[in-house]
Structure 1
Amino acid sequence: MSQIDLGWGEGPSERYESLAEKFRPIFAEISAGAIDRELGRKLPAAEIVKLQEARFGALRVPEAEGGFGATLPELLNLLIELSAADSNITQALRGHFGFTEDIVNKAEGPDRRRWTDRLARGEIAGNAWTEIGDARQDAFSTAVSEKDGRFVINGRKYYTTGSLFADWINVGVTGLDGESSTVQVRRDDPGVEVVDDWDGFGQILTASGTTTFRDAAVDPADVVADENQFRYGAAFYQAVHLATLAGIGRALADETAAAVAKRVRHYSNAAGPRSSQDPQVLQVIGRIRSNAYAAGAIVLQVARAIERAYRAHFGSDAEAEERANAIAEIETSQALTVVSDLILDASTIAFDALGASSTRKPNGLDRHWRNARTLASHNPRIYKDRIVGDFAVNGTPPPYQWRIGAAAG
């Protein structure tokens, strides 16, 4: 059935349904095993391989370069659908799509072609940016050096989401000249060790643990200074979170509605003989679904803003590009608190539509709140309303990037 037929609204383009149909059978398989994987802490490695084989990771690569040429609204809508099947997988692929976005922003040439060829074949990239412990805000301890005539990196990263499933790892480093940069490293390099030691209560199947680099080889052509990466990165990465939250909302709406439809036991003081005929219960289900619907609509609006920033990058007007980047960041920031609240609210009130038995672990309903709460904690939303307010009152442009660690000095 189409997205319209399911009541989730019109897709982002006329061709969206034909694009989505290529992947929906895989999404259905992923969804069927989601609760069992969650209960058994079974990483979705096989499911990600199926997506690789379908070249899901090449969505943003232009058709002329071997990909699907998806727009950002099309990509983010597909990520909503994937997240409804299993939000862990979207989170595991977030770094890949961010890396791909940087590649499709590059000018034509051998560096771009080298990577679009790999992406079009289905190769995927993981993420290794965050450092913990005594990490600093202004520099990475993971660094590039020269050894025996070649470039290598050494260091340790945490929150390396998706890297365990990847062919490549996109790593934040300090370059030879001391500036903040990124490099790409083969995950199967003998100097790379990826460990699934993520101990969070949500998104537990994303392998967001520790990666250690010991003289891992780096191609000098893959050392890219931060200032040369795509400018709307913060908005893009946050938009993937928002799409993931919207997908969690859809899964929650569907699962709770199905549970109510099957429920026979009901309370003597209820407003109907069965839950499926109780107007108060139906009201809760309607609110959950409405929250999910609104979240998805907001994500598509944000996606359009980021698409404008992408297109402005290829124009000849630097001021117009700067404005588009700023507005993309503002629109994303405006959406963040609202979407987070919508899905966190839905994941809490779902239990009001069901009995105490709905809290049993085999039902897996708790995973929606845990996953949503974890996603909403990634980039502090307490700062977003302030940033938006400062823009509205004082015209202050939003920050494009942020880092976590001990402040300099």
Structure 2
Amino acid sequence: MSIINLKPQTALQHRPSALTTQINAVWGQGPSSRYESLASLFRPTFEKIKASRSEREEKRILAFEQIQWLKDIGFTRLRLPSSQGGFDATIPELFNLLIELAEADANLPQALRVHFGFVEDLLLSRDPQFKSIWLPRVAQGQIIGSAWSEGGNESIHEFKTRLSKDAEGRTILNGQKFYTTGSLYADWIDVGITDLYGESASILIPRHAEGVEIVDDWNGFGQILTASGTTKFTDVVVNQQDVIGDQQRFKYSAAFYQLIQLAIISGLTRAASYEVSAEVYKRERNYTHANASFVRNDAQILQVVGQIRGVAYTTAAIIGKNAQAIQRAFEAGLNDNEQLEADQNAIAELEVAQSQTIITTLALNASTIIFDALGASATDKNLALDRFWRNIRTLASHNPRIYKDRIVGDFSVNGTLPPYQWRIGKVDESGLLQTDKAS
């Protein structure tokens, strides 16, 4: 048979080592005119994080050191005002940087997910005492982890993890939480509770307080270094001033937290495009029925690689639009117009919901067709190319996309707005849903 031998294009290499300004431009213009200068402050650390990622995942080495690097360079205070040592980052700038961090290590933005949500609480708070306590803590680099889910066994109106008074009159916390993402890395834990008055609330607990035990028992096949384990609270003495009422939390949290998951997925597809490109470029083994002598010149193989890169580009572009909607919700929250705020929150939730199935479907497919561009040797565990599908599938399983599609359809047909917060829990024998925390 005739083999066509074409010379590879060399004008614009897109291998993982080529993260130049020119290469970054291929992903599209950043969300602001200053984005490149802002991102340049963090990219060297992202590259250092990436260098140790494979070893850490293989040996299950939790990313304490890497989280500290991010704290040291100020990544955790991105959204804070410059007067508080922050960078005045907009929400679109934050999400673009989360995509870049996820490309380096998808575990880290998920571990910091609740921390960035707590910063939104801070920025929108009208409580001067709350801000005076917590703004300096975040400015100093302290981060917040999550402890909300109880596995679905709590009652419909209250958490089993609750505050009470001990014999000495102290306020104490007892309970157990699952999926406490990022808490092992954190300085404080944001805990969903039933307060002393039987109301749903939350409280911030020092990570190393006496009576707090965190176990790294996350057993999922993906996102294995997010420290999403179990946390137990046993007679933890707490400060009442650290209780936060549900009404004090930022109102676009459902859209915000979901978009972080989607940003991580987008970052994973970007990493996949770099890795498959590098593997195709250096691959020497080939088939007799291939289209070219070298795999890197095979038109069908290049088509597969192009599809994967197209997914990385498209998902990031969609997330950029979603982030603009959340930015508008944030700005509405700074005003006193409750109707405007409610409208912008609903729009942000709908925009993200409209994107969820599209992004996850594209990314799951991209993580599968990687193996169409390579041979059976691509399944070698040392390459760990399966991690893209495992991580994307794990992230995509957090919030059922079928329900988001239904919510979008109900709005499209009937004008029904999405629920402010959705809940998850265990169905009891009567068929009633015993709810867990709000999403």
2 CA distance for matches of 1:396 and 1:179? Answer: 28
Aligned partners of 1:171 and 1:183 also within 8 Å: yes
Partner of 1:30: 49
Show the 5 A alignment for 1:192-341: 192-341=212-361
SS at match of 1:153: strand
SS at match of 1:47: helix
2 CA distance for matches of 1:4 and 1:119? Answer: 33
1:235: how far off?
0.6
- The one-letter amino acid paired with 1:232 is Y
Aligned partners of 1:37 and 1:43 also within 8 Å: yes
SS at match of 2:301: helix
1:149: how far off?
3.1
Partner of 1:105: 124
- The one-letter amino acid paired with 2:384 is G
- The one-letter amino acid paired with 1:7 is V
Aligned partners of 2:79 and 2:86 also within 8 Å: yes
1:73 aligns with 2:84: no
Partner of 2:17: none
Deviation by residue 1:116-158 (Cα, 9 ceiling, x = unmatched): 1010111101000101162344321100112333322110000
Partner of 2:403: 383
1:351: how far off?
0.6
Worse overlay, 283-292 or 391-400: 391-400
1:34: how far off?
1.2
1:372 aligns with 2:386: no
SS at match of 1:101: helix
- The one-letter amino acid paired with 2:319 is V
Partner of 1:182: 202
Partner of 2:78: 59
- The one-letter amino acid paired with 1:288 is I
2 CA distance for matches of 1:222 and 1:3? Answer: 47
Partner of 2:35: 16
Partner of 1:164: 184
2 CA distance for matches of 1:386 and 1:4? Answer: 38
1 CA distance for matches of 2:139 and 2:212? Answer: 24
Partner of 1:191: 211
2 CA distance for matches of 1:62 and 1:263? Answer: 48
1:48: how far off?
0.6
Worse overlay, 27-36 or 57-66: 57-66
Aligned partners of 1:347 and 1:369 also within 8 Å: yes
Aligned partners of 1:66 and 1:117 also within 8 Å: no
1 CA distance for matches of 2:41 and 2:413? Answer: 46
1 CA distance for matches of 2:341 and 2:173? Answer: 34
Aligned partners of 2:121 and 2:248 also within 8 Å: no
1 CA distance for matches of 2:156 and 2:225? Answer: 28
2 CA distance for matches of 1:360 and 1:282? Answer: 22
2 CA distance for matches of 1:403 and 1:143? Answer: 19
- The one-letter amino acid paired with 1:226 is D
Please tell me whether Structure 1 or Structure 2 has the larger radius of gyration of its CA atoms: 2
Aligned partners of 2:186 and 2:207 also within 8 Å: yes
* Structure 2: gaps (5+ residues): 1-19, 427-432
1 CA distance for matches of 2:100 and 2:385? Answer: 18
1 CA distance for matches of 2:408 and 2:375? Answer: 40
2 CA distance for matches of 1:4 and 1:12? Answer: 16
1:33: how far off?
1.2
1 CA distance for matches of 2:24 and 2:42? Answer: 18
Partner of 2:67: 48
2 CA distance for matches of 1:93 and 1:3? Answer: 29
The percentage of counterpart residues that share the same residue type is 53
1:46: how far off?
0.7
Deviation by residue 1:243-272 (Cα, 9 ceiling, x = unmatched): 101100100000000000010001111111
Deviation by residue 1:6-31 (Cα, 9 ceiling, x = unmatched): 41001011111111111111100111
Aligned partners of 1:137 and 1:403 also within 8 Å: no
SS at match of 2:382: helix
Partner of 2:109: 90
- The one-letter amino acid paired with 2:27 is W
1:404 aligns with 2:424: yes
SS at match of 2:409: helix
Matched positions, count: 409
Deviation by residue 1:165-218 (Cα, 9 ceiling, x = unmatched): 110000001111111111000000011001100000000111101000012232
- The one-letter amino acid paired with 1:394 is N
Deviation by residue 1:80-121 (Cα, 9 ceiling, x = unmatched): 000000001111111111111111111261211211101011
* Structure 1: gaps (5+ residues): none
1:316: how far off?
2.5
